[in-house]
Amino acid sequence: MTAPTALIVDSNSLAQAIADTSQTLTILDVRPISERETGYVPGSQHLDPSRLNRSEGRVNGLLPKASEVANWANEFGFTADSWIVVYDGGRATAAARALWVLHVYGFNNVLWLDGGVPIWRQSSHPVVTDDSTSGNFTGGNRKTNAGRNTNSAPISAETLRTDPDLVWSKHTLLARFSQTEDAKPVPQAIDARSAAEFAGTDVRSARGGHMPGAVHFEWLDLFQDDGRLKPDAQLRDALAQRSIEASKPCVVYCQSHQRSSVTYLVLKHLGFSEVAALDGAWSNWGNDPDTPIER
């Protein structure tokens, strides 16, 4: 696939890519298995969304370990150079979360299907419920990666490294807020949760509230009614209204970095170069009695 100018692919472009025999894609369906059973994009493989997360005590939504991501790569047959398309049920978080996890571990050729399966269906593209019939898509002129890549050596956990610019520990973020981390700029904190969570009236950890100076931009406000993202110009205007600047580093969070993974996707799509997520998000920050909060 030709390198995209963005991280987002629409249904028609994906259909054309699937039909192009000169291109190999790994397509990952990141919906719950019950949704997949109602029909899926031909040639796609199922990645259970629970595999996108790890928990430690009260902290949820932590980055999965390298060994787990290496298992994905070998199970689904992709490498660091592969083109990967991720999709979910639309107006959802799992596909964006998968994109972020893959980015953190160095898989950079990842595209997110705008609108997910509902828009795929509305665009008159077929879904299948049986792998044996998926070859009927566009007359069988299809080249997707539907299993382990036997032409390359298996990926091992030892070869995967996390990108420290994309995932921050609580200690790194505290240092950045206090400007003790090599005098790096203080990041703009973007809270993707509901207004009640931001205000501290809906408490889902030991403490409610938000990070000092955080800007509230609920993740649902990124979408149109049909589940596709709003046009870029509208998104840029919404960010400008909140004084969120592309020239400054950003850290995004929600309760466990599911909802805020969509914020990450949008910011990267719009050209923000420095976008990180707090590992464990508010479940990490709000459950620590020593972190500063505002209400």
CATH 3.40.250.10 occupies which residues in the chain? Answer: 8-159, 167-285
Across the chain, mean pLDDT equals 91
Indicate if the pLDDT at residue 58 is higher than 50: yes
Radius of gyration of the chain (CA): 19
pLDDT digits (tens, 9 = 90+) for 280-290: 999 999 999 99
Q: How far apart are CA 91 and CA 150, in angstroms?
A: 35
Q: Which CATH class for the 8-159 domain?
A: alpha beta
pLDDT digits (tens, 9 = 90+) for 145-174: 554 444 567 899 999 999 999 999 999 999
Location of structure tokens 């109602």? 38
Using pLDDT thresholds of 50, 70 and 90, give the confidence band for residue 179. confident
Beta strands in 219-274 (DSSP E): 250-253
Contact 69, 104 (CB under 8 A): no
Say whether pTM exceeds 0.85: yes
Specify the pLDDT at position 181: 56
Q: How far apart are CA 191 and CA 194, in angstroms?
A: 9
Q: Encoding tokens for residue 98? A: 């998968």
Fold of 167-285: Oxidized Rhodanese; domain 1 (3.40.250)
By residue count, the chain amounts to 295
